[in-house]
Structure 1
Amino acid sequence: MSTTTTAVQETPLTAADRCDRCGSKAYLRVTLASGGELLFCAHHAKEHAEALAKVAARIQDETHLLS
């Protein structure tokens, strides 16, 4: 029996990716365990971090690009 592991290539967020809450530039992509995807600016990502961690299958955080 063999096992294949596939690395997930993260696509960088661009200026076209906008926060689902306020429309600002998104710095966080949350892939939900249920299969959907949400985008958040740094402010809303921080505000909802606890709830997002409970439903996320994967979180792509690019907030380091702010400094």
Structure 2
Amino acid sequence: MTATVTEPLTTADRCDRCGAQAYVRVTLNSGGELLFCGHHGKAHSAKLSQVALKIHDETSKLS
């Protein structure tokens, strides 16, 4: 079994909703990927958890 490593988000990664720095990466079951700032990641978390294969959340960096 090979461990999946998720690359850390950088300041170049931007929210797909508003363009702010992304702190949440959502890998969709369909193979696509979405990036969200902390605000939009939280606002859409219920729906995202239904369609996500994986959610990489770095919002702890905001504290």
Place the TM-score, normalised by the shorter chain, in its bin: over 0.9
Separation in 2 of the partners of 1:54 and 1:10? Answer: 20
Q: Which structure 1 residue ranges, 5 or more long, are not aligned?
A: none
The structure with the largest alpha-carbon Rg is: 1
What are the within-5 Å matches in structure 2 for residues 17-32 of structure 1?
17-32=13-28
Q: CA deviation at 1:10?
A: 1.0
- What residue identity is the alignment partner of 1:21? R
Secondary structure class of the residue paired with 2:26: strand
Q: Which structure 2 residue ranges, 5 or more long, are not aligned?
A: none
After superposing on structure 2, the runs of 4+ consecutive aligned residues of structure 1 that deviate more than 2 Å are none
Separation in 1 of the partners of 2:2 and 2:33? Answer: 20
TM-score (norm 1): 0.92
Determine whether 1:14 maps to 2:10: yes
User: Deviations 1:10-63 (Å, cap 9, x if unpaired)?
Assistant: 100000000000000000000000000000000000110000000000000000
**Identical residues among aligned pairs (%):** 63
- What residue identity is the alignment partner of 2:33? E
RMSD of aligned Cα (Å): 0.4
**Counterpart of 2:37?**
41
Count of aligned pairs between the two proteins: 63
